[in-house]
Amino acid sequence: MTAAATAHTPVSERIYLALRQKIMRCEIVPGTTLDAASIASHYQVSKTPVRDAMQKLAADGLVMILPRSGYLVAPITFQAVHDILDMRAAIGPHAARQAARYATPAEIALLRQIVREYDAPLDIGAMQQVARRFHIAIARCSRNKRVVALSESLFDELERLLRFAIDFTVKTGEHSDEHTALVDAIEAGDGERAAAIEAAHIKHSREFLIERLMTLGYLSESEIRLGGAARSAGE
């Protein structure tokens, strides 16, 4: 956002964007209690724009409104993890299948260019941005604007999970092979193969994320069993 744009942005929106970024980057960790008066003092504003910002964060599912002007940064729960990953499992393979139908040579070249970025050592922030650009680029190849919008929203929410679940240093080229295979399938126009590769990638990522969140203590095995039983009962 430019200085000119910032000057014309409502105070509540600036507070919302600043807090949202901190929450998404886990600079404010899940389960943290936020106080409207303290936030207002920090930004040197009244409580009104803070409350407006918090209402928007609540609508995003990032904070919970507590009595007496208190707010709680949304914890990482099994249901939240399941909802996000379930949507990825539904949308990702469909986007890959459609990309195999519609991707142009220029779009294929862009995908290969992004994949090459995995060859360098990446910390979690850099890796997340590369992954986001890669999968959003595939979504754009689907020629479905709603798929693109949903993919962007899901990767925003995934950022918090990834910052908790994955070590800050990853191996060079760790993700290159599977992404290269996916681009190969898209270029060949093989939608079913592209969808299968993406589905397998999401499945492995899901298992890894849940295992890591359990190891770090953000999810319990009993919570996952209870959540799984509740889903089965509703099916």
What does the pLDDT look like over 28-59, one tens digit per residue?
A: 988 899 999 999 999 999 999 999 999 999 99
pLDDT, one tens digit per residue, over 77-98 is: 778 888 899 999 999 999 999 9
Under a CB-based contact definition with an 8 Å cutoff, are residues 22 and 160 in contact?
Answer: no
The answer for residues whose C-beta is within 8 angstroms of residue 8's C-beta and 6 or more apart is none
- The verdict on pTM exceeding 0.95 is no
> At residue 72, what is the residue type?
L
Note the pLDDT of residue 174.
55
Non-local CB neighbours of 112 within 8 Å, separated by 6+ positions: 180, 183
Smallest Cα–Cα separation from 186: which of 113, 114, 92, 111?
Answer: 111
**10-residue mean pLDDT series, the chain (235 residues):** 59 95 88 92 94 93 85 85 92 98 98 91 78 96 97 86 64 69 98 97 87 75 56 50
